[in-house]
Amino acid sequence: MSCENNMSEKTSTTAIGELRQLKILVQETEMLLRNQRDLLKTRGFKLPPMALQALSSVKADIETLEKAFYENQVELSQLRFLADTTAQLNSSLNLDNILTQAMDVVISLTNAERGFIILRDDETGELMFRVIRDNEVGTETINQTPQISTTILQAVFRSGEPLLTDNAYQDDRLQSGQSILQMTLRSVLCVPLRYKNKTLGAVYVDNRLRAGIFTEREKRLLAAFANQVSVAIENAQLYEQIQRALVEIREMKDLMNNVFASIGSGVITTDAKHHIVLFNRAAELILGKSQQDVIGQRLTAVIPGVSANLDAYLANIRTKDADQTIEAELDVPQRGRIAVNMRFSPLKDANQNIQGVVMVMDDLTEQRGNEQLILMMKRYLPPEMVDNIHAISSLALGGESREVTCVYVDVRSVKSFPKDYRPQQIMEQINGYLARATNAIHRHKGIVDKYMGNIVMALFNTQLNPMQNHALQAVEAALDIRDAFIAFYQELGINPEPHFYRIGMNTGIATLGNVGSLNRREFTAIGDTINLSKRIEENTGLGQIIIHETTYQHILQHGGLPAHIRFVERPRIQVKGRQQLVGIYEVFRA
């Protein structure tokens, strides 16, 4: 391409030189004829008619041709420069870089005093000056919206056509424009930036002092260049939209992953052919399989042995648009035999077309184990409850709202016992743990609400044991439980590291009262405060006493933090059933 340009330039230079030589020859011939005309007159002869006029006409034609050739050569050079610059513009997807390069080209092509690129906001319609050049004052000194002809700009946006005036101050089309009169604008050229019948903005150049700066040639060149710039701008804006959309999609995907990860139930979704497409963290824990290993597999291969008719269940869900529930026991590596509840529902798209199946799985293993332990264990009755049997029986069915501190103590998991232990040995030791936990709770005037196998639920500040510093008493009871268990370990001759127990508590408003029927009722507490204390216990590590931040604040506000207890703030945790993170503290003796 460079060689072709060089050859073209040499040819053009030669042609212009030959035209100039030809013009000189015509001039010399004209002079000779004029001299000969005078000589011929003295001898009685005349030149042929119109000979000199013909030479003058040839001379004028040569000058016109020379001027046209020169202008064409200038326009050709500008077009080549334009083509090279357009290629550079289309190679960039950065809008600011594109607009800056485009302004450089515009100033170079037109020799304008000032130049502006104005874009229109699609949503608001507001015009924004994206690039400003002013050769008089310098770009860096412009700190406000430039003064330009809004009449010209609006005319270009309205018509979608370029507008050129070589003397705007005297142009009849623009006499209504106040900015033109005030600024005494001379040369103005404004071309629209259009893409597929949409006006993106405009390129505006002017000269406030000289008229006739811009010609039809600059108008054609700038209009052609503006078309290419419009394509580059549209590509850059589309690229920015795609980037923003990708960021939003990524953020939405992260949010969905966080939501699915925080769900306590296992969630599995399949496509129309029952291949797994989603497998959340809870499902990994329940089934002992990683997401990477199961994605793309058939659901029946991941949970074998559930039912010989599982494929029929899945087909029935899709064809009849009906839910199905299955309870089953599965053999899971490293977990053994587990009990699960599985709820199947059709998975639909935005048009309510069934695209697959969603399965929600709940692990019932611990619940079943607790139920079996409950059948084997006796209920403990604290002295406070015995002394207030009449008060308990007089409470109506229903409840009363009251601030309480609820404590859950998991004394020791059945799975932590050696495999050679007999059920009777396990029961005896669990009863030993429960007895020591109960004694510590009663010592601080707490009430054991219920036993759930190896778990104790205790309440402080019920109608039966009112106390102002109930949060502190609950913490003291938890520390006493820890001391009692350590002593019990020594009696058993074991030194577990970490310990077997987990203690979690929360302070807040709960509903307390009798539930059941007129023939059989049970005093208990229900509400979000009770549920959250259980979630905290479930998220507590072995050997830890973890309290909710409300329990810590209650202690702080009712007598202050005691010197013999140390509270260590831990990172906030995510618990089942809550989207917000929970603030917690771990408790130690000082």
DSSP string, 296-322: TSBHHHHSTTS-TTHHHHHHHHHHHT-
Shared domain for 211 and 103, answered yes or no, is yes
Q: Is 220 a member of any domain?
A: yes
Pair (446, 382) in one structural domain: yes
**Residue 256 belongs to a domain:** no
> Would you say residue 255 lies in a domain?
no
In-domain check, residue 395 = yes
Amino acid at 200: L
- CB distance 488 to 436 below 8 Å: yes
Do both 270 and 193 map to the same domain? no
Question: Greater confidence, 515 or 6?
Answer: 515
For the record, the structure tokens of 404 come out as 């309480």
88-92, 265-269, 316-320, 452-456: the lowest-pLDDT one:
88-92
In order of 111, 170, 179, 181, 220, the CA distances from 156 in angstroms are: 21, 19, 16, 19, 15
Does the pLDDT value for residue 382 go beyond 50? no
Are 217 and 130 contained in the same domain? yes
How many other β-carbons are positioned within 10 Å of the β-carbon of residue 358?
16
Residue 108, pLDDT score: 75
Count of CB atoms situated within 10 Å of the CB of 488: 18
Does residue 413 or residue 348 have the better pLDDT? 413
Q: Is 329 helix (H, G, I), strand (E, B) or coil?
A: strand
State the pLDDT at residue 258.
61
405, with CB counted inside 10 A (0-12, 13-18, 19+), is buried
| 185 and 36 fall within a common domain | no
Mean pLDDT of 504-517: 80
Q: Can you read off the two tokens belonging to residue 377?
A: 């264990």
Are residues 551 and 440 located together in one domain of the fold? yes
3-state helix, strand, coil in the chain (%, to 5): 50, 25, 25
Q: Where does the pLDDT of residue 2 fall: very low under 50, low under 70, confident under 90, or very high at 90 and above? A: very low
Question: Is there a single domain that holds both residue 82 and residue 129?
Answer: no
Distance CA 201, CA 194 (A): 7
Indicate the number of domains in the chain.
4
* Residue of 13, 241, 191, 233 lying closest to 101 (CA atoms): 233
Are the C-beta atoms of residues 566 and 587 closer than 8 Å to each other? yes
Q: How many CA atoms lie within 13 A of 421 on its CB side?
A: 14
- Same domain, yes or no, for 72 and 101? no
Q: Which of 317, 347, 363 delimits the end of a domain? A: 363
Q: DSSP letter string over 443-462? A: HTT-EEEEEETTEEEEEESS
pLDDT tens per residue across span 431-490: 999 999 999 999 999 999 889 889 999 999 988 889 999 999 999 999 999 999 999 999
* Vertex 406 angle, CA 405 and 408, to 5°: 145
Neighbours of 36 (CB within 10 A): 13
Do 10 and 144 have their domain in common?
no
215 and 232 assigned to the same domain? yes
pLDDT at 52: 64
**Which DSSP string corresponds to 355-408?**
EEEEEEEEE-HHHHHHHHHHHHSPPP--HHHHHTHHHHHHSPBS-EEEEEEEEE
* Owning domain of residue 74: 1-91
Number of other residues whose CB lies within 10 A of the CB of residue 444: 22
**Residue 253 belongs to some domain of the structure:** no
> Mean pLDDT highest for which of 49-53, 60-64, 171-175, 176-180?
60-64
User: Do residues 59 and 105 share a domain?
Assistant: no
Distance between CA atoms of 393 and 516, rounded to whole angstroms?
A: 12
Q: CB neighbours (10 Å) of residue 156?
A: 22
Q: What pLDDT was estimated at residue 586?
A: 97
Query: Predicted confidence band at 144 (pLDDT cuts at 50, 70, 90)?
Result: low
Each residue's pLDDT tens digit, 43-102: 666 666 666 666 677 667 767 776 666 566 655 555 565 555 555 555 666 777 778 877
State the Rg of the chain over Cα: 45
- The reply to whether 513 falls in a domain is yes
pTM score, whole prediction: 0.38
Tokens of 154: 């609006």
* Nearest-angstrom CA–CA distance, 144 and 124: 20
Which residues share a beta bridge with 267?
Answer: 360
Mean pLDDT of the chain: 78
How many Cα atoms occupy the beta-carbon half-sphere of 71 within 13 Å?
Answer: 10
Residue where a domain stops, chosen among 192, 217, 248 = 248
Do the domain assignments include residue 254? no
Do both 115 and 84 map to the same domain? Answer: no
Q: What percent of the chain has pLDDT over 70?
A: 71
Final residue of a structural domain among 54, 75, 91: 91
Q: What's the average model confidence in pLDDT over 298-310? A: 73
Inter-helix orientation angle 95-110/51-90, to 10°? 170
Residue 61 inside a domain? The answer is: yes
Specify the CATH number for the domain of residue 444. 3.30.70.1230
Question: Residue 92 has what pLDDT?
Answer: 63
Helix (H) or strand (E) holding 545: strand 544-548
Q: What is the DSSP letter of 167?
A: -
**CA pair distance 376, 578, nearest whole angstrom:** 34
Residues 6+ apart with CB under 8 A from 317: 323, 324, 344, 345, 346, 357
